[in-house]
Amino acid sequence: MRVGFVLAIDQGTTGSTALVLDARGAVRGRGYAELPQHFPRPGWVEHDGDEIWRSVVMAIRRALAKARVPAHRLAAIGITNQRETTLIWERASGRPLARAIVWQDRRTTDACAALAKRGLEREVRRRTGLRLDPYFSATKLTWLLRHHPEIALLARRGRAAFGTMDSWLLWRLTGGAVHATDPTNASRTLLYHIGRRTWDEWLLDLFGVPAALLPSVLPSSGRFGVTHAVPGLPDGIPIAGVAGDQQAALFGQGCVRRGQSKNTYGTGCFLLLNTGDRPRASRAGLLTTLACGPRGEPAYALEGSIFIAGAALQWLRDGLGLLETAAESETLARQVPDAGGVVLVPAFVGLGAPYWRPGVRGALLGLTRGTRRAHVARAALESLAFQTRDVIEAMARDAGQRIRTLRVDGGAAANDFLMQYQADLLGMPVERPRVLETTALGAGLLAGLGVGFWASHQDLAGARRVGRVFRPRHGRSWREGEYRRWNDAVAVLLATGKA
């Protein structure tokens, strides 16, 4: 049996997780550290780069302590990360030059609309597979350069570095020796040509981004560099796997062949369908993005991106005080037979796929004097399932095939009420694995493959075993009636909301 362990780092929107995996892919230790959120203005979401790094160091320390594994026994490190979030730092010192602009941030909505008005949407989509939406990195990067002249000057002189969070962590883990990313993260920037798989000069010119800012793009599975001067870790551990969180989850679920799909219920909700070695353009409001094949090589996927999923439960907890914990939502939802006519459309940062309406805002509809917090909690959970059905239907139209089983993962997938409601609303089985943290599992597997710790993705088939299958309990008339409530609510919002 192979000797040693693999460390998987999952740097997420609300916190950082580290897992220590043994040779069978079993989780020997888990560490987590919450990440502060900064909301300087309505629609703005920021992270502090140094706070991200401290949360990762803390998560690693806690995972190793829980696993009782000495750090020198780590064979490799894998990184997965919140995508699109944009940071610029000084090359000489590693000092962040401004707060990171998070993927949820909407400050560049008007800039995206102006580009679309110039008729650039089609060409941008042809090159990137993406839409002109503030979700992606390029307009965030443009905003930083335009609003911080001192950063723009350093960028032009080659003294600043841009990265999504994988690049930032690679830089810190290697003591500033490596400025790199992988194709899955590069494909989320609006600066990368997914057909040629290179940074695109036309896009760099369009968004005013100096090429000197950009990281190198290296394979998702392979040696990126080695650790240097990392608190709690010895020098010389290979960092050998990198992928954006949703592509890592797709890989971790074993969806490495054409036609395989998964849905991750996290802060947002993301459904990906592996489409093989050729990109497939979407006609139904989805994205075309890069993913990973069986050995971590580039593959393509269709993606439906839902901006607010588990974050809706956090809003009930932190914003309205209706919940003490997000897990309490399940207990409350079971206290009522239905949502009492209440529908939550959680467009707090606009609507993503398949609508792509960044200017609309959320709505809680159908309130009466009889509405209780249990109805609102149930409506919040139902909103995750409704949005997922929107994307499933769009994906079936694009792929020309029906998805017959939904594989799920992510924190909110632990909610039995939500998973059963999802199966009922879709009229198909929902398969939940024993290990829900397939995002980190995917990053660890890519790293292990990169150093030969595992021979193939099939070595972790046991770690991906199904834990429970939720089967539909209602017929077609019930699920269509439920879905009609959602469609009616979205129609009201789109009719009254800002485009």
Residues contributing to the annotated binding site for ADP: 13, 267, 310, 411, 415
Q: Apex CA 297: angle with CA 135 and CA 190, to 5°? A: 20
Binding-site annotation, residues for sn-glycerol 3-phosphate: 13, 83-84, 135, 245
Whose tokens are 């300087």? That residue is 40
* CA gap 90, 84 in Å, rounded: 19
Contact 66, 113 (CB under 8 A): no
Under 8 Å CB-to-CB from 49, ≥6 apart: which residues?
87, 89, 96, 99, 100, 168
Count Cα atoms within 13 angstroms, Cβ side, for 239: 30
Please report the DSSP string for 36-86 in residue order: --B-SSTT--EE-HHHHHHHHHHHHHHHHHHHT--GGGEEEEEEEE-SS-B
If phi > 0 it is left, if psi is from -120 to 50 it is alpha, else beta; for residue 33 that is beta
In 3D, which of 18, 186, 17 has the Cα closest to residue 5? 18
Binding-site annotation, residues for glycerol: 83-84, 135, 245-246
Binding-site annotation, residues for ATP: 13-14, 267, 310, 314, 411
In 3D, which of 188, 284, 185 has the Cα closest to residue 241? 185
Under 8 Å CB-to-CB from 405, ≥6 apart: which residues?
428, 429, 430, 431
Grouping H, G, I as helix, E, B as strand and the rest as coil, residue 300 is strand
* CA gap 464, 432 in Å, rounded: 10
If phi > 0 it is left, if psi is from -120 to 50 it is alpha, else beta; for residue 127 that is alpha
Whose tokens are 């000495």? That residue is 70
Angle between helical axes of 137-147 and 149-156 (0-180°, round to 10)? 110
Whose tokens are 């050729």? That residue is 278
Binding-site annotation, residues: 13-14, 83-84, 135, 245-246, 267, 310, 314, 411, 415
* CA gap 34, 38 in Å, rounded: 13
Instruction: Give the ranges where 129-270 is alpha helix by DSSP (H).
Output: 137-147, 149-156, 165-173, 183-186, 201-207, 245-252
* Tokens encoding 196: 């040629």
* CA gap 303, 241 in Å, rounded: 21
Whose tokens are 């609510």? That residue is 489
Whose tokens are 């996290």? That residue is 266
In 3D, which of 280, 249, 482, 285 has the Cα closest to residue 392? 285
CA distances from 258 to 71, 261, 278 (A): 37, 9, 10
Contact 70, 78 (CB under 8 A): no
In 3D, which of 64, 272, 67 has the Cα closest to residue 188? 272
